[in-house]
Every structure is written in C-alpha cells, then in structure tokens.
C-alpha cells in the first residue's frame, strides 16, 4: 500500500520502525487540505499493520489496516473536536485508555486539529507526554502548531507537510476519480494542496466564476465590470473563489511580462494574458494584486460586503 508524496517524512518513519526507534508523539503540520489527516492514518497503519511481512509499508488488507480504515481498530483511537473544541474530558479518556497495555504491539492515538484543545486539555495531555508508556504513540494534526503550548511543542516531533508536485497532484486526482482533462489550470490553482483541487473540482460554480473573471479582465469595459459587480452582489458565496482566480490572472500577467509563460497558472488563456500584460506596467499589476489582498484583509475586519464588491470591480 503506497502513499503518494511526502517521501522524506515517510522515509524517516520507516527507518524509525526498522530500527525500533519510534518516538512517543508526532505532529503533522501544514496548510488546510494538504493531507495531514490522511498521512496520520497511513502512519498509524504502518505502525500497526500485521500483514506487511518484510515490506515496511502497510498491507492495507489485514484486520488492523481494515480496522483503521473502518474506524473500528481497538488499538487506534481518534480524538476529534466537539463544538470546535477538544475538551479536557476527551483527553482524560485518552489517558485512561492509553494506560491499559495492549494484548499485542502498540496503541496509536490521533488528535485531529490539536490546536482546538483547550488549555486545560493541553495541560492534561502534558503528563502523558512527559511520562509516555513504551507502547503508546500519539499523533497530532494541526495547521497552527505555534498555537499549542510551548510545553506541548517541546515534547513532540514536528513533521511539516510540503505542497505536492504537479505529478503527485495529478496522481492523487486520478486515484480520487477527479477528471482534470483539459483543466490543467486546476492543478496550478491548487498550489500543490490536494484538498483545494478536490474543492475546485466539486465546485459547480467554479467554471462560471472563471468565465466571468476572464471576461472582466480581458474585456475590461464598463459592461463587463457591471456584469461582474451584479453577479458577485447576488452570489456572496463565490466571492473568495473569484478573488483567487482574479489574483491568479494578475500573477500570470507578471510572469508574461518577464517572458516566463511556461509557469502560467491559466495556461489555456496564454495568448489573452500576453496581450493583456502588454498594456500594463509591472507597477500597475502589483497595485491590482495589492488591491485584492487589501480587500481580503478588510473583509476579515467586517468590511461591508457590497463595498468590497465595488472595490474589486472598480479599482482592480
């Protein structure tokens, strides 16, 4: 059973397993959607697999691997947030369970979105991290490792997941039944984050959003600006996606000005982008990108939505 990408992390775990040098706690960190939970489950399978013979990779078919997949393996427990918090009672349950030695092998615990642990929950976990049982391994996932208490972080080995290569994203998409034929720009827009390409592929409005943005940029007349303004005013849920697409076009224009068209995100619009870029200076494009980033920032500060729409369509 293979895992696509993140080779350095996997290699380190395999060496630790082969040499019986596994630590007691690991944190998988990285951007939302990069696959922290998926990797943690794979590592748990690698540790607990009973059918791998001489191959360090999990077999995926033994009762342990299947149990992890079906969430019924007694030696693998997942702690998830309740109402966007992981409470002290959940950590106490983990501590009680980890104190019971397994009949065979190890026990693995996964705390998903560990940054959602309350301070009390983190302090409760600390004693187990300080005096871990030899058979117990605690895995954590978080996008905000720095939000954990320093005393927690200092007792955990951090593995930061890096964005996937184009080929890896293509393979992951295929395995998950996502057809990107003729839509290679989705790979670029994903930024190497598998979760993003899943979201983009599932977003039924994405193609319509993209058409609207391309028309807005390349035609640039009053009608196209008004059309986009009205569209965004009625469809607040697509605003973030449209800003992402718009920013990607402006970044492509910068690349085109530097004759770096092989790196275009919207490669299917290459000719349009080159023509568009010729009518602007680099400063013009930087100001447009800065304008989008300012709108994003202001929206987080409770900026009026219609004002944000007007700023996007009239000043960028």
**Judgement on whether residues 119 and 232 belong to the same structural domain of the protein:** no
Domain assignment present for residue 222? The answer is yes
pLDDT of 193 over the 90 cut? yes
pLDDT of residue 95: 97
pTM of the predicted protein model: 0.84
pLDDT tens for each residue of 1-38 = 789 999 999 999 999 998 999 999 999 999 999 999 99
Please indicate, yes or no, whether residues 151 and 219 belong to a single structural domain of this protein: no
Residue 58 lies in a domain: yes
CATH number at residue 63: 3.40.50.300
Within-domain flag for 64: yes
Q: pLDDT, tens digit, for every residue of 117-169?
A: 999 999 999 999 999 999 999 999 999 999 999 999 999 999 999 999 999 99
In a domain, 151, yes or no: yes
Q: Which residues contact 142 (CB under 8 A, 6 or more apart)?
A: 27, 28, 29, 36, 113, 114, 115, 148
Query: Of 108, 138, 162, which marks where a domain is finished?
Result: 162
Categorize the per-residue pLDDT at 106 as very low, low, confident or very high, splitting at 50, 70 and 90.
very high
Rounded CA-CA distance 109/98 in Å is: 8
Does residue 249 lie in a domain region? yes
- The reply to whether 154 and 11 lie within a common domain is yes
Same domain, 156 and 13: yes
Same domain, 91 and 238: no
Q: Could you read off the pLDDT of 44-99 as tens digits, one per residue?
A: 999 999 987 767 889 999 999 999 999 999 999 999 998 899 999 999 999 999 99
Has residue 195 been placed in a domain? no
Residues 120 and 234 in one domain: no
Distances (CA, A) of 104 to 23, 49, 264, 285: 18, 12, 53, 62
Per residue, what are the HEC states of 170-187?
HHHHHHCCCCCCCCCHHH
My answer on whether 58 and 138 are in the same domain is yes
Same-domain status, 152 and 278: no
- 61 with 131, same domain: the answer is yes
Tell me the Ramachandran region of residue 21: left when phi exceeds 0, alpha when psi lies from -120 to 50, beta otherwise: alpha
Task: Identify whether 100 is part of a domain.
Answer: yes
Task: Say how many domains are in the chain.
Answer: 2
pLDDT above 70: percentage of residues in the chain: 100
Domain boundary among 162, 188, 219: 162
Query: Do 14 and 153 lie in a common domain?
Result: yes
Beta bridge partners of residue 158, listed in sequence order: 27
pLDDT band at 204 (very low <50, low <70, confident <90, very high): confident
DSSP 249-302: HHHHHHHHHTT-GGG-TTGGGHHHHHHHHHTS-HHHHHHHHHHHHHHHHHHHTT
Query: What pLDDT sits at residue 181?
Result: 80
For the chain, give the mean pLDDT.
94
The pLDDT of residue 30 is 97
| Domain end among 162, 189, 212 | 162
Q: Are residues 54 and 156 in the same domain?
A: yes
pLDDT for position 284? 95
Residues 139, 245, single domain; the answer is no
**Of residues 183 and 29, which shows the higher confidence score?**
29
Find the domain containing 244 and state its range. Answer: 203-315
Q: Say if 42 falls within a structural domain.
A: yes
């Amino acid at each position: 059973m293979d895992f696509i990408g993140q080779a350095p992390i996997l290699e380190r775990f395999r060496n630790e397993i082969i040499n019986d040098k596994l630590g007691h706690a690991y944190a998988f960190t990285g951007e939302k959607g990069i696959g922290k939970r998926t990797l943690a489950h794979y590592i748990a399978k690698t540790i607990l697999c009973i059918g791998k013979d001489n191959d360090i990779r999990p077999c995926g078919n033994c009762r342990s691997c299947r149990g992890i997949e079906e969430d019924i393996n007694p030696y693998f427990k997942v702690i998830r947030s309740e109402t966007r918090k992981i409470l002290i009672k959940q950590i106490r349950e983990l501590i009680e369970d980890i104190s019971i030695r397994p009949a065979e092998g190890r026990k693995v615990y996964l705390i998903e979105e560990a940054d959602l642990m309350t301070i009390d929950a983190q302090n409760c976990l600390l004693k187990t991290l300080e005096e871990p049982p030899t058979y117990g391994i605690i895995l954590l996932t978080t996008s905000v490792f720095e939000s954990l208490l320093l005393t927690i972080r200092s007792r955990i080995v951090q593995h930061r997941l890096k964005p996937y290569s184009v080929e890896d994203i293509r393979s992951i998409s295929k395995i998950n039944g996502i057809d990107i034929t003729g839509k290679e720009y989705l790979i670029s827009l994903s930024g190497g984050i598998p979760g993003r390409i899943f979201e983009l592929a599932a977003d039924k409005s994405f193609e319509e959003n993209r058409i609207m943005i391309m028309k807005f940029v390349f035609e640039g007349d009053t009608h196209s600006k008004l059309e986009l303004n009205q569209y965004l005013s009625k469809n607040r849920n697509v605003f973030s996606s449209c800003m992402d697409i718009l920013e990607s076009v402006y970044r492509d224009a910068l690349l085109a000005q530097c004759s770096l068209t092989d790196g275009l995100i919207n490669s299917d619009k290459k000719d349009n982008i080159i023509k568009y870029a010729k009518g602007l200076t680099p400063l013009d494009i930087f100001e447009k990108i800065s304008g989008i980033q300012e709108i994003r920032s202001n929206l987080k500060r409770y900026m009026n939505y219609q004002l944000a729409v007007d700023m996007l369509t009239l000043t960028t």
